[in-house]
Structure 1
Amino acid sequence: MLDLSLDFLYRQAFVPLRPISSDVDLTGKTVLITGANVGIGLATSKILAQHKVNRIILGVRDMPKGENAKSELTKLHSGINVEIWPLDYDSFENMSAFCKRAESLDRLDITILNAGNKPIHYAKSPTGHESTLQVNHLGTSFLSLLLLPVLTRTAHMNGNASRLTIVSSEVHFWTPFDERHADSILEYMDQPDTFSIPWRYNTTKLFNVFWTRELAARTRAVDILINTVNPGLTWSDLHREDNTIVFRIFRTLFARIAEQAGHAVVDAAVVQPQDTHGAYISEQKPSP
């Protein structure tokens, strides 16, 4: 664990994340991003806009914030079509309707599932599941499954693989994953007395990696290139509940700005080659 921590601090402080090549042209492509109205999602959207993507669909829970994000994006690229779609990870019905709407798209080239949460106290989602588990794992996985048909159809239409990138985190390394001993892991994690910080968030990020690997194993890379990316510790609203002095100092010293994290996400979703199907991408390269 100490080796992991020291390596993490070194990379946060001294390994820069590079912008993708200016030659990358996304003209004509449609991108869908969740959690896109603030932080890493918004930074990612801005980078994509600068590469002339034709249409960006922002899946957001807060529609006014989504409209603010739309205004920022259209200032970067006047020809971009930005659509704001309501999306609530705490409702399977809402997510189903969102994906049903996506089926009507003429194309969907790139999907980035970025939305996440990191509560510091136990909370139950309206679905009945613990909130971190619901948003970070169940909601993300549910959306990834329901969006496969339109991604596959786009790939067949274009003769090129579509892309699906799930935003995970390096902290998936840092969990004892004691939940694996339970008879039913998900039922166990829904119990209030099993909730702890930071392990719950870390474990759900581990699930992102597990899910990506398994989904990729059941999907052809020539149809959809699926990977998961670590953007690193970033200044974002994700950490808004953690106001301890220790964490604030740590974040000040080591956190990346959102634009840097956006470079990592765009690299995974746009640039990484076909052999990264199912891979965990960190510092813009596959990592075991």
Structure 2
Amino acid sequence: MEAIFRIRDKFIPEPLPPLHCFTGHTVVITGGTTGLGLAAATHFINLGAHVIITCRNRTRGESAKTAIENLIGAPSQGKIEVMELDMDSYRSCCKFVNSLKDRRMSDGTPKTVECVVLNAGCMNTQYVESPEGWEETIQVNSLSSSLLGLLLLPWLKTQISATVPRLVFVTSRDHVDVEIKDWVQWAEEEGILRHLSSKAAWPSANSVPDSPNYANSKLLLMYAVEEISKLALGNNQEPKVIVTSVCPGLVHTDIARNFTNQSWLMKILVQTFFAMFSKSADYGARFYVSAARASKEQH
């Protein structure tokens, strides 16, 4: 049944909202230089938004900006802004949020942000430890994404804007497949995060290529989203920021590139699977657009 839904989604896209519905809005997209992030940036610009994309280095960001201009078929005319953000670094996350808050109009009035899409993520098949000491998939998908949400939320709540801001976390349905029965034991021993980040717990090099922490990282993020959504409520229990999570489904992007780097056989299998069941980045990014227009009832 799941395969049928994937094939359906491959050919029947989520409809886009009316043109100009994001006119006057600023939308921030982390990880906006490739794949879903770049496709989402293109959609938002076509719908009238000013878009800020993040990247690890300025050169890559400017290349992405050029790619978006080619997709929209015209110069961006100031509608695309590039800001640096390294999701492996807490310091970089804090610096990015502070830079976002410091943006000003020509008269000194603080610029507002109407939507933030926390899209940046990774799917590692080999163990990589972040500079902060955590396995990189956990660092990027769970810890840094949660930190950004927590840092941005108080600021978004106090903005003076004509619309209720949206904070969108990109998650995955894979989080429902996580078996958590061992998590209680890990919590009592070294801690869940320490266990998941331990190199000793990582599959051996001879095992079938997998991203053992991807689903775990998305489940941890979902736990964080649940709590952040509570913090977004005002005294009247109405959301001052609409917090949502979105799963774009199986999308043909380069996030699974680590699988295709394993062997020629794995490359063929992965490419065949994606060719049969995955939707395009254009179609997947439409779910981001829908989430950016979520109602209070969807909080």
- Shorter-chain TM-score: what band? 0.7 to 0.9
Q: Deviations over 1:178-231 (max 9, x none)?
A: 552212111111211223434310111112222111110221253100011000
Structure 2: distance between partners of 1:267 and 1:24: 14
Match of 1:188 in 2: 195
Structure 2: distance between partners of 1:47 and 1:84: 17
Counterparts of residues 187-206 of structure 1 (less than 5 Å): 187-196=194-203, 197-206=210-219
Counterparts of residues 121-270 of structure 1 (less than 5 Å): 121-154=126-159, 157-181=160-184, 182-183=186-187, 184-196=191-203, 197-220=210-233, 221-243=238-260, 244=266, 245-270=268-293
Please tell me whether residue 72 in structure 1 is matched to residue 67 in structure 2: yes
Please tell me whether residue 50 in structure 1 is matched to residue 46 in structure 2: yes
CA contact (8 A) 1:163 1:226 kept: yes
Structure 2: distance between partners of 1:127 and 1:37: 24
Please tell me whether residue 11 in structure 1 is matched to residue 5 in structure 2: yes
Please tell me whether residue 108 in structure 1 is matched to residue 113 in structure 2: yes
Write out the 4+ residue segments of structure 1 that deviate beyond 4 Å after TM superposition.
Answer: none
- RMSD across aligned positions (CA): 1.7
Residues 203 and 179 (structure 1 numbering): CA distance in 2 closer, same or farther, change over 3 Å?
Answer: farther
Match of 2:298 in 1: 276
CA contact (8 A) 2:157 2:232 kept: no
Residues 24 and 276 (structure 1 numbering): CA distance in 2 closer, same or farther, change over 3 Å?
Answer: farther
CA contact (8 A) 1:160 1:222 kept: no
Deviation at 1:248, TM superposition (A): 2.2
Asked which structure has the greater CA Rg, the reply is: 2
Quick one: which of 4, 23, 26 aligns to 2:22? 26
Instruction: Give percent identity, aligned residues only.
Output: 27
Q: Deviations over 1:150-177 (max 9, x none)?
A: 31122xx125310000111111122213
- Write 1 or 2 for the structure with the bigger share of strand: 1
Number of equivalenced pairs: 267
Deviation at 1:24, TM superposition (A): 5.0
Structure 2: distance between partners of 1:65 and 1:36: 10
Match of 1:85 in 2: 83
Gaps of 5+ in 1: 1-5, 278-288
Partner SS for 1:119: coil
Deviation at 1:65, TM superposition (A): 2.2
Deviation at 1:252, TM superposition (A): 1.4
Residues 248 and 73 (structure 1 numbering): CA distance in 2 closer, same or farther, change over 3 Å?
Answer: closer
CA contact (8 A) 2:124 2:211 kept: no
1:72 maps to a residue whose letter is A
CA contact (8 A) 1:38 1:69 kept: yes
Gaps of 5+ in 2: 104-110, 204-209, 261-265
Residues 136 and 179 (structure 1 numbering): CA distance in 2 closer, same or farther, change over 3 Å?
Answer: farther
Deviation at 1:23, TM superposition (A): 4.3
Deviation at 1:79, TM superposition (A): 4.0
Partner SS for 1:199: coil
Please tell me whether residue 38 in structure 1 is matched to residue 34 in structure 2: yes
Residues 259 and 179 (structure 1 numbering): CA distance in 2 closer, same or farther, change over 3 Å?
Answer: farther
Residues 63 and 160 (structure 1 numbering): CA distance in 2 closer, same or farther, change over 3 Å?
Answer: same
